Amino acid sequence: MSLEYRILLPTDAAAYVALRLEGLQHNPESFGNTYEETMQDPNLLETFAKRLQPTEEAATFGAFAEGQLVSVVTVKRETMKKVRHKASVVGVYTTPAARGKGIAKQLFHHALAWAQQQEGLEQLILSVLTDNEPALRLYRSWGFEVYGTETHALKYEGVYYDEHHMVLFLNRLC
């Protein structure tokens, strides 16, 4: 299988939106917004094309299998002076057919390498559903640690979901 890992660009917006919408439909409990909310944007492609423009504050990484976008992760740095030493890992999703093959782990390698190159960036934070064992294994494999658990963090169709908040101190990476 041919795999490519790289920072996504505005020209990748259509592929990104398609994968994002898939995630919102297949794993709606894992995202802060809904498919319906996302579809309300009349300029959806343009909105995501702007978000995919890499900056010093943010970059979205994609894994392509046979030319098809199958996994994504975004690292978004805080901009205010007192919290600029932190960045959030958001929008993590891998299509079901690509799960369990190490693709997301390798994609994280690229995202973490980028994060380590950002001057003054010391830690990455993320939130994950407490019962998402595959994601927890992935994050722990890179050294993320739970620093808190939020009960009823999300509520979707009358069901509550708890989230672990995790942190990775970049100076601890080998």
Q: What is the pLDDT of residue 115?
A: 95
Q: Are 70 and 19 in contact (CB under 8 A)?
A: yes
pLDDT tens readout for residues 33-44: 999 999 999 999
The domain defined by 3-172 folds into Aminopeptidase (3.40.630)
State how far the Cα of 69 lies from the Cα of 100, in Å rounded to an integer.
16
Q: What is the pLDDT of residue 173?
A: 63
Q: What is the pLDDT of residue 159?
A: 94
State how far the Cα of 78 lies from the Cα of 6, in Å rounded to an integer.
22
142 phi and psi, to 5 degrees? -95, 0
In the structure, what pLDDT confidence band is assigned to residue 125 with cuts at 50, 70 and 90?
very high
Q: Domain residues of the chain, as ranges?
A: 3-172
Q: Are 124 and 158 in contact (CB under 8 A)?
A: no
The whole model's pTM is what?
0.92
State how far the Cα of 137 lies from the Cα of 120, in Å rounded to an integer.
27
